[in-house]
Amino acid sequence: MAGGKVSARQKMINLMYLVFIAMMAMNMSKEVLSAFGLMEAKFADANEATTNRNEAMLTDLKTKAEEKPMEFKVPAARAQKVQIVSDKFYKFIESLKVDLLKKGEYKVDPKTGKLPFEAMDKTDILDEAWFTGDRLTKDGEKVMAALNEYKTEIKEILSKDEAYRGESETFEKTFSTAPVPNKDGKKIDWLNYNFQGYPAIASYTKLTALQNDVKVT
């Protein structure tokens, strides 16, 4: 605002204007936080549905492997390996989500069965846990190590058969951890780009979305 002498009335108007703007920003922030919460709920529902489909398909494959071993024994064995590796990484991600809620002291409302989305605005939980300066903490390194281990194990399974080349390429794109350019064109490490500086509900939602990618695999 311009300088110079301002009357008491104008000062009051200016103050009210600032309060109004702050309230607008706060309300918008709550709407955004709620939107992330709704997205997280949809991913969670999708994960449950995909789990059920996966179990049905694996059961069908096992049955076919017994009935027609020449045709289905190898694919069934590979599917089971993918399941074991994926379940391990899925549970690791779940442990990150549990830790995030614990550190933020966020609890599910027993009446609604939902997390307090609008209150999950802290940005320092994962920032302090995973990042230090321009490097990763030991916990941050564990996250990347677990992700890279999962990628290596899945690609090793898919590499056993040339027929899985397309799936392998799709998998690599889905779980790419290459540096990502920010709005200024500067390349940022994958973990920093996706999780540093975000409110807790956004990070929680991203972790659930990552679990969805695992289930789809």
Residue-wise pLDDT for 166-181, tens only, equals 888 889 999 999 998 8
Does the pLDDT value for residue 216 go beyond 50?
yes
Tell me how far CA of residue 62 lies from CA of 48, 69, 151, 167, 215, in angstroms. Answer: 21, 9, 25, 21, 19
The angle subtended at Cα 107 by Cα 102 and Cα 111, nearest 5°, is: 165
pTM (2 d.p.): 0.84
Rounded to 10°, the helix 69-104/8-67 angle is 150
Name the DSSP class of 142. Answer: H
φ and ψ of 155, to 5 deg: -65, -30
Mean pLDDT across 118-145: 94
What pLDDT does residue 16 have? Answer: 61
Element holding 171 (H helix, E strand): helix 165-174
